[in-house]
């Protein structure tokens, strides 16, 4: 435990007013873990000389090798200032974009954050992301500008230039905060204006609103970072020093006799010291004077670096040491590395831990200071608003704000993630030092075991001839896998925080699922029901026992009997009840917390399988070989392989389940083909997950496929120019073969389908009882982006419509309804023109999965079905139970189901569609000929669907065959209509110009001028496109912003580092989907195209290459020429 005892931490946990829950946030390589090492060293847990080198909170081997943090780690620290003692629950989080989900898990459990910014690089993309995450979770940040030594040693800036540079960094950080604040104020102002308009229904005429009024009235002074407010620390964690303005104000108020309050206001800003009149004056820049911060602070640090590192002036160093009143060891003075002496001086003069921890204790809030706004946001899930929750649930808000640890306070815990720990690392299994008596006892036991072993061996030699040859080896082989499995077993610990109550070991609590409804739970549970009783059938509610409670100490765990409210803790025994995140409470009135905000979506997919999935054949071979084995060793060799391979597939399945639980962002899927697919956020994240799967969770050799690249299929408007930029329609058709080949696709007909030249597809069901006419129309790009961005809102819209159609009452958040209305208005503003007239009102469904970026449009003249916006209509009518005006036609759901299937896998390469509108222009059902047949078929189909979900599959199959034969030889009409609608959508899609859409990364690269050309070369080679570049002021660094296809991104970071000798490092973040301009089906049809591309047109077609790769991976037909018998070309000049 180091200098602070476990009993001391237990005592500090009982005082929530002096607890600080905080995390360290920053861009990658900005010095988070080095700063954390300095803070940990202040408690004596590690040596101060190892701070920055040990990376104590990076406990994984791959973290140490790569030099980046990959997971969030917590540690409890003790800090004393004056007569106050504080407990700091510090969480170090990753800075790499692939692990931003770990940042989300850390931010949720904290009340404050330390944002670290590199003094050279300034605000980087991930800095903006972490500031936004802190803003969304309503936690208060403080700023540490780190690596000031780089301004001295690398950039060679003067103290005045460094001051100007630091001012610009502060402006950049405050600009990000100001943008977040402005957006929030404008949203609140807009809501307030809407409420005023709704209240005053008698207003007439156009109303003019001053949107800037909200910004003028709002107080944002506490949000920004400024050294004079005490929320900024300047530091160099690697050299062990850091300071705030308050530190130097205290020093100079004693030396110069100036009031401390005056120095706090003037040390940062446009002030200077007039030495003649010994007064602080304003206007340093205008008068060409050194600012006070440069004169009193930076000049001293610069002169120290000059004396110790640059000149190595021993006499000046001795004067500095004497004037500062510090003691430096002789070995440090004589050390060959000047950085050692510098660290020895700075760590005593300006200790970074003291500056940061004192700022944290003064500026960051305690658990008692949690705002009511944050509590309501945590308790309002999905479409529900806080005031619609049950009264007992709303009363829990007081428990949150009081953070009480009393016996009557309800226990409320949030688990942000589950992490795996080796059983050997648990406190109960940890080896402890032995005393003399225990050593003597163990020595005696070892002697007895050795004597027994020798006796057993002598007995075995005596009876060796009587035993079968392979019996001994068989025993060892059968027992070995079980022993190994026991040794390598890992347990899961929940990473959690207590918001109310006191948690005790082996206490039982409710586990609230994300869909748990407290109103339903309270109605189903008897009054006074507790988690100690068995839970009746309440949906999404279960009970669990918290077997163990742990204090998180970085690489170690300490077991505790109870932990009061306001603390971060680890909980054991929840792996069977919690998958990734959960809300635990002793009260069934508690609602589940809002889900975490993940900035990076998982997009990189690979298929995983064991190298030896089955051992049946090897087992048979071993038995065959056994008959001819000449010795026991031969038998052992033959039998070993089946034992190793027999359980590899179950091991993989179990390992992937454990990996899915241990990683907050990773997803594990089993596709229809039976493939086990792992989905991760990026290349580095993928490598970490695969290493964990091999070495920790599955413990087997695995085979990994090439990354499964996601694509989307879409249609575009017919192009106006050909591939050589000639206007279409004016050239002479030359490639007659291709023209004849393509013409039938423009308009053809068969018995069941007909395709018009303008793209309208008419298709009938096999029994000719139903006909649909569908046309595919490309959606504007803005509409596609809007639908993709609003997928969660559209999903809520579908849930609301479903509940209203079923007659169920549902408390809908007013903000959700306003967001739906805003989405509708936005769509109406974007879908303008003759062909989109009333299109928003005629939307039938969204797809795929009912919330995707494709639209099914109802263009049938005589069918006025209820709109998808019916929840808005019912809200305006103030009668939620009112039945819809127009009932649904029979088989309406079959049309929607066919559309969902068609958009889920397109005809190009079975990838989902995107940005396509399918307009149903005619839908005829010939029910007049067989009215009873259609009605019976509909009923029997619904009955079959219900039976199939509850009954025996064999009975259902026979029953389905009987009904189908009695109704129609082609099967149920609803099923035929689904297939017909799906095929009609596919044919309508193929009748339009088709394109592939590729997933794109936004790539941020910082590089020096000398390697700029190499960066451009790597980007061009991988189909990247540079958007803009700018030079960072005061440095020779360029910031390049580019877009790069995900398909070309694998190995990109390694290649660019190799080509630039490590001087450039990219940061890849998924950005958007982009249409690939080339047509994968293009063939030359004009004379100009024939002359330019040749008859074969075999130049590289990027879209065709991607499409064929996907089709080949999925086992679909690929049209390509394969050379089987190649011959060398013979020239006429030389007969060879």
Reported confidence tier of residue 1098, pLDDT bands at 50, 70, 90: low
What pLDDT is recorded for position 901?
A: 93
* Higher per-residue confidence, 762 vs 672: 762
pLDDT confidence tier of residue 524, bands split at 50, 70 and 90: confident
Strand partners, 714: 995
pLDDT at res. 426 = 86
- E strands, 899-1033, in order: 916-925, 994-1008, 1025-1031
Alpha-carbon distances of 1001 from 682, 914, 1066, 1068, rounded to whole Å? 10, 18, 11, 6
Helix (H, G, I), strand (E, B) or coil at 722: coil
CA–CA separation, 586 vs 503, rounded Å? Answer: 10
Burial of 809-823, coded b for 16+ CB within 10 Å and e otherwise, reads eeebbeebbebbbeb
Classified as helix, coil or strand, 476 is helix
Q: In the predicted model, what is the mean pLDDT of residues 13-33?
A: 92
User: What is the rounded CA–CA span in Å between residue 575 and residue 491?
Assistant: 8
Q: Which of 221, 198, 194, 224 is nearest to 209 (CA)?
A: 194
Residue among 231, 207, 487 nearest 356 (CA):
231
- Tokens 């995450």 sit on residue: 133
Cβ-count burial 192-224 (b if 16+ within 10 Å, e if not): ebeeeeeeeeeeeeeeeeeeeebeeeeeeeebb
All residues at 6 or more sequence positions from 1079 whose CB lies less than 8 Å from its CB, including other chains: 993, 994, 995, 1103
**Does residue 437 contact residue 412 with C-beta atoms inside 8 Å?**
no
Q: How far apart are CA 436 and CA 648, in angstroms?
A: 46
In this model, does residue 141 exceed pLDDT 70?
yes
Distances from the Cα of 481 to the Cα of 281, 478, 581, 602, 657, angstroms: 79, 7, 33, 35, 20
Mean of all residue pLDDT scores within the chain: 81
Mean pLDDT of 1002-1015: 88
CB 978 within 8 A of CB 898: yes
Nearest to 996 by CA among 1071, 918, 1099, 1108: 1108
**Alpha-helix runs per DSSP H in 913-952:** 931-950
Mean pLDDT of 600-617: 76
Does the pLDDT of residue 58 top 70, yes or no? yes
Residue bearing tokens 């020239």: 1131
Residue 913 is classified by DSSP as B
Pairing of strands 84-92, 19-26: parallel
The dihedral over CA atoms of 1000, 846, 894, 669, expressed in degrees to the nearest 10, equals: 40
- Residue 925 near residue 934, CB atoms below 8 Å: yes
Distance of alpha carbon 941 from alpha carbon 968, whole angstroms: 12
Tokens of 560: 């505790």
- Top-confidence range, 52-61, 311-320, 392-401, 989-998: 989-998
Rg (CA), the chain: 35
Confidence of residue 111 (pLDDT cuts 50, 70, 90): very high
* Cα gap 171→124, rounded to integer Å: 13
Residue with tokens 């190892």: 50
Q: Say if CB 996 and CB 910 are below 8 A apart.
A: no
Cis peptide before 848 (omega within 30 of 0): yes
pLDDT at 638: 40
Structure tokens at 104: 């989300």
- Report angle CA 831, 837, 839 to the nearest 5 degrees: 65
- Alpha-carbon distance of 580 to 668, in angstroms, equals 13
Tell me, what DSSP letter sits at residue 467?
A: S
Give residue for tokens 């610009």: 168
Residue 220 is predicted with a pLDDT of 66
CA distance linking residue 763 with residue 311, whole number of Å: 87
Q: In the structure, what pLDDT confidence band is assigned to residue 221 with cuts at 50, 70 and 90?
A: low
From 174-178, 751-755, 979-983, 1015-1019, the region with the lowest mean pLDDT: 751-755
Question: What is the per-residue DSSP string for 149-211?
Answer: HHHHHTS---HHHHHHHHHHHHHHHHHHHHHHHHHHHHHHHHHHHHHHHHH-TT--S-----T
Q: Which two tokens stand for residue 446?
A: 């070892």
Q: Could you tell me if residue 67 is left (phi over 0), alpha (psi between -120 and 50 degrees) or otherwise beta?
A: left
Alpha-carbon distance of 509 to 489, in angstroms, equals 26
- Is 177 within 8 Å of 131 (Cβ atoms)? yes
Categorise residue 664: left if φ over 0, alpha if ψ from -120 to 50, beta otherwise. alpha
For the chain, give the number of residues: 1136
Helix 892-904 with 973-990: angle, nearest 10 deg: 40
Asked whether residue 390 carries a pLDDT value surpassing 90, the answer given is: no
Tell me the mean pLDDT in the region 560-574. 92
**Strand 667-670's sheet: what is its strand order?**
667-670, 676-680, 604-610, 702-704
Report pLDDT digits (tens) over 703-713. Answer: 999 888 889 99
Give the strand pairing for 112-118 and 140-146: parallel
Contact assessment for residue 496 and residue 416, using Cβ atoms and an 8 Å cutoff: yes
> Is-contact 510 588, C-beta < 8 A?
yes
Per-residue pLDDT of 425-434, as tens digits, reads 888 877 777 7
Cα distance between residue 805 and residue 190, in whole Å: 31
Q: Residue 110 — pLDDT band, cuts 50, 70, 90?
A: very high
* Whole-number percent of the chain with pLDDT over 90: 32
Those residues with Cβ within 8 angstroms of residue 216's Cβ, 6 or more apart along the chain or in another chain? none
Instruction: Give the tens place of pLDDT for each residue, 430-477.
Output: 777 777 888 888 889 999 998 998 888 888 787 765 555 445 444 443
Place of tokens 């697919």: 677
Residue 745 has pLDDT above 80, yes or no: no
**What is the mean pLDDT of the segment spanning 1054-1059?**
89
Q: Which two tokens stand for residue 703?
A: 């085979």
DSSP output for 328-373: --HHHHT-S-HHHHHHHHHHHHSBHHHHHHHHHHHHSPPGGG--HH
- Given a contact cutoff of 8 angstroms between Cβ atoms, the answer to whether 269 and 259 are in contact is no
Which structure tokens are listed for 316? 């000046």
Lowest mean pLDDT among 120-134, 304-318, 462-476: 462-476
Q: What angle do CA 1005, 1007, 1009 make, to 5 degrees?
A: 140
**Which contacts (CB < 8 Å, 24+ apart) does range 289-296 have?**
290/160, 291/160, 291/163, 292/266, 292/267, 293/163, 293/227, 293/267, 293/268, 293/269, 294/159, 294/160, 294/163, 296/248, 296/252, 296/267
What's the angle, vertex CA 49, arms to CA 47 and CA 52, rounded to 5? 95
pLDDT tens, 685-704? 999 999 999 988 988 899 99
| pLDDT tens-digit series, residues 850-902 | 888 999 998 888 888 878 888 777 655 544 444 444 566 778 889 999 999 99
Tell which residue, 549, 542, 543, 544, has the closest CA to residue 571.
549
- 130 DSSP 8-state letter: H
Instruction: Kindly report the pTM of this predicted structure.
Output: 0.80
Confidence band of 729 (pLDDT split at 50, 70, 90):
low
* Rounded Cα–Cα distance for residues 819 and 813 (Å): 10
Of these ranges, 232-246, 379-393, 714-728, 949-963, the one predicted with the greatest mean pLDDT is: 232-246
Question: Is pLDDT at 817 greater than 90 in this prediction?
Answer: no
Any bridge partners for residue 753, and if so which? 763
What residues pair up with 916 in beta bridges, in sequence order?
778
Q: Pairing between strand 854-858 and 916-925?
A: parallel
Closest CA to 984 of 760, 768, 745: 760
User: Where does the pLDDT of residue 934 fall: very low under 50, low under 70, confident under 90, or very high at 90 and above?
Assistant: very low
Angle at 186 between CA 182 and CA 189, to 5 degrees: 140
The CA distance from 363 to 356, in Å, is 10
């Amino acid at each position: 435990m180091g200098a602070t005892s476990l009993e001391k931490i237990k005592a500090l946990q009982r005082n929530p007013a002096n607890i600080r829950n905080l995390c360290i946030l920053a861009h990658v390589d900005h010095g988070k873990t080095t700063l954390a090492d300095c803070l940990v060293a202040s408690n004596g847990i590690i040596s101060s000389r190892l701070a920055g080198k040990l990376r104590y909170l990076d406990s994984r081997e791959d973290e140490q090798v790569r030099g980046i943090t990959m997971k969030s780690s917590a540690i409890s620290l003790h800090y004393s200032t004056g007569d106050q003692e504080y407990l700091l629950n510090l969480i170090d989080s990753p800075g790499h974009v692939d692990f931003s989900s770990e940042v989300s898990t850390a931010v949720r459990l904290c009340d404050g954050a330390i944002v670290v910014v590199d003094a050279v690089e300034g605000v980087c993309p991930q800095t903006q992301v972490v500031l936004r995450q802190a803003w969304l979770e309503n936690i208060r940040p403080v700023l540490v500008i780190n690596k000031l030594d780089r301004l001295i040693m690398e950039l060679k800036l003067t103290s005045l230039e460094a001051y100007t540079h630091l001012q610009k960094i502060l402006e950049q950080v405050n600009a990000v905060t100001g943008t977040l604040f402005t957006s929030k104020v404008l949203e609140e102002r807009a809501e307030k204006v809407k409420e005023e308009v709704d209240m005053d229904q008698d207003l007439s005429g156009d109303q003019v609103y001053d949107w800037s009024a909200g910004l003028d009235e709002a107080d944002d002074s506490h949000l920004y970072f400024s050294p004079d407010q005490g929320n900024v620390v300047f530091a160099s964690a690697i050299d062990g020093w850091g300071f705030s303005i308050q530190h130097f104000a205290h020093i100079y108020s004693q030396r110069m006799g100036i009031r401390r309050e005056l120095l706090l206001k003037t040390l940062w800003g446009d002030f200077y010291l007039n030495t003649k009149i010994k007064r602080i004056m304003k206007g340093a820049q205008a008068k060409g004077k050194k600012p006070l911060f440069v004169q009193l602070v930076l000049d001293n640090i610069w002169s120290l670096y000059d004396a110790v590192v640059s000149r190595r002036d021993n006499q000046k160093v001795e004067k500095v040491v004497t004037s500062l009143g510090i003691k430096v060891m002789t070995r440090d003075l004589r050390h060959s590395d000047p950085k050692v002496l510098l660290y020895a001086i700075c760590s005593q003069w300006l200790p970074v831990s003291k500056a940061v921890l004192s700022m944290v204790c003064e500026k960051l809030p305690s658990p008692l200071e949690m705002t009511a706004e944050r509590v309501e946001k945590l308790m309002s899930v999905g479409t529900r608003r806080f005031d619609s929750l049950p009264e007992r649930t709303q009363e829990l808000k007081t428990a949150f704000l009081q953070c009480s640890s009393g016996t009557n306070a309800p226990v409320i815990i949030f688990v942000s993630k589950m992490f795996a720990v080796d059983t050997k690392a648990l406190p109960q299994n940890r080896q402890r030092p032995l005393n003399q008596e225990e050593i003597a006892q163990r020595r005696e036991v070892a002697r007895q075991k050795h004597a027994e072993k020798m006796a057993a061996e002598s007995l075995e030699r005596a009876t060796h001839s009587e035993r079968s040859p392979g019996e001994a080896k068989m025993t060892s082989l059968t027992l070995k896998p079980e022993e190994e499995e026991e040794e390598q077993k890992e347990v899961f610990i929940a990473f959690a925080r207590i918001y109310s109550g006191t948690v005790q070991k082996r206490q039982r609590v409710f586990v609230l699922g994300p869909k748990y409804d407290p109103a339903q739970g309270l109605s189903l549970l008897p009054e006074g029901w507790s988690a100690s009783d068995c839970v009746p059938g309440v949906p999404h509610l279960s009970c669990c026992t918290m077997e163990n409670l742990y204090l998180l100490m970085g690489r170690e765990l300490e077991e505790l009997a109870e932990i009061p409210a306001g603390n971060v803790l680890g909980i054991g025994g929840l792996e069977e009840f919690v998958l990734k995140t959960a809300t635990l409470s002793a009260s069934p009135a508690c609602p589940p917390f809002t889900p975490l905000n993940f900035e990076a979506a998982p997009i990189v997919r690979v298929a995983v399988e064991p190298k030896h999935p089955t051992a049946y054949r090897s087992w048979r071979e071993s038995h065959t070989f056994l008959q001819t084995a000449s010795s026991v060793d031969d038998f052992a060799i033959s039998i070993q392989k089946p034992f190793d391979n027999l359980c590899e597939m179950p091991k993989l399945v179990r390992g992937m389940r454990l990996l899915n639980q241990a990683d907050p962002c990773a997803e594990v899927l089993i596709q229809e083909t039976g493939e086990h697919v792992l989905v991760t956020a990026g290349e580095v994240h993928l490598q970490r997950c695969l290493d964990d799967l091999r070495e920790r969770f599955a413990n087997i050799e695995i085979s990994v496929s090439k990354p499964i690249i996601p694509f989307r299929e879409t249609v575009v408007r017919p192009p106006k120019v050909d591939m050589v930029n000639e206007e279409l329609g004016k050239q002479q058709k030359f490639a007659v073969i291709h023209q004849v080949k393509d013409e039938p696709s423009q308009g053809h007909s068969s018995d069941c389908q007909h395709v018009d030249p303008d793209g309208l597809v008419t298709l009938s069901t096999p029994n000719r009882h139903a006909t649909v006419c569908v046309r595919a129309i490309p959606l504007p790009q803005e509409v596609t982006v809007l639908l993709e961005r609003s997928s969660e809102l559209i999903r809520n819209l579908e849930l609301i419509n479903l509940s209203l159609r079923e007659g169920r009452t549902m408390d809908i958040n007013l903000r959700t309804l306003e967001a739906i209305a805003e989405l509708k208005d936005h769509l109406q503003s974007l879908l303008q023109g003759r062909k989109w007239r009333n299109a928003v009102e005629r939307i039938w469904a969204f797809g795929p999965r009912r919330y995707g970026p494709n639209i099914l449009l109802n263009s049938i003249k005589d069918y006025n079905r209820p709109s998808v916006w019916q929840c808005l209509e019912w809200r305006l009518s103030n009668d939620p139970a009112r039945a819809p005006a127009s009932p649904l036609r029979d088989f309406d759901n079959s049309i929607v189901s066919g559309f969902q299937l068609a958009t889920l896998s397109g005809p190009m390469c079975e990838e989902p569609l995107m940005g396509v509108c399918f307009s149903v222009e005619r839908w005829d059902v010939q029910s007049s000929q067989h009215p009873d047949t259609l009605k019976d078929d509909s009923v029997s189909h619904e009955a079959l669907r219900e039976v199939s979900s509850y009954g025996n599959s064999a009975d259902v199959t026979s029953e389905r065959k009987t009904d189908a034969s009695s109704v129609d030889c082609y099967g149920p009409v609803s099923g035929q209509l689904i297939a017909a609608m799906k095929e009609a959508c596919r044919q309508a899609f193929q009748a339009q110009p088709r394109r592939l859409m590729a997933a794109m990364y936004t790539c941020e690269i910082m590089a020096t001028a000398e390697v700029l050309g190499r960066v451009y070369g790597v980007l061009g080679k991988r189909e990247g496109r540079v958007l803009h570049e700018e030079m960072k002021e005061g440095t020779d660094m360029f910031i390049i912003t580019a877009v790069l296809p995900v398909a070309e991104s694998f190995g990109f970071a390694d290649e660019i580092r190799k080509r630039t000798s490590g001087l450039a490092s990219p940061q890849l973040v998924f950005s958007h989907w982009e249409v690939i301009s080339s047509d994968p089906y293009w063939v030359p049809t004009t004379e100009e195209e024939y002359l330019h591309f040749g008859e074969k047109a075999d130049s590289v077609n990027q879209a065709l290459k991607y499409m064929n790769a996907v089709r080949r991976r999925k086992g679909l037909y690929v049209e390509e020429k394969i050379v089987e018998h190649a011959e060398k070309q013979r020239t006429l000049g030389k007969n060879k």
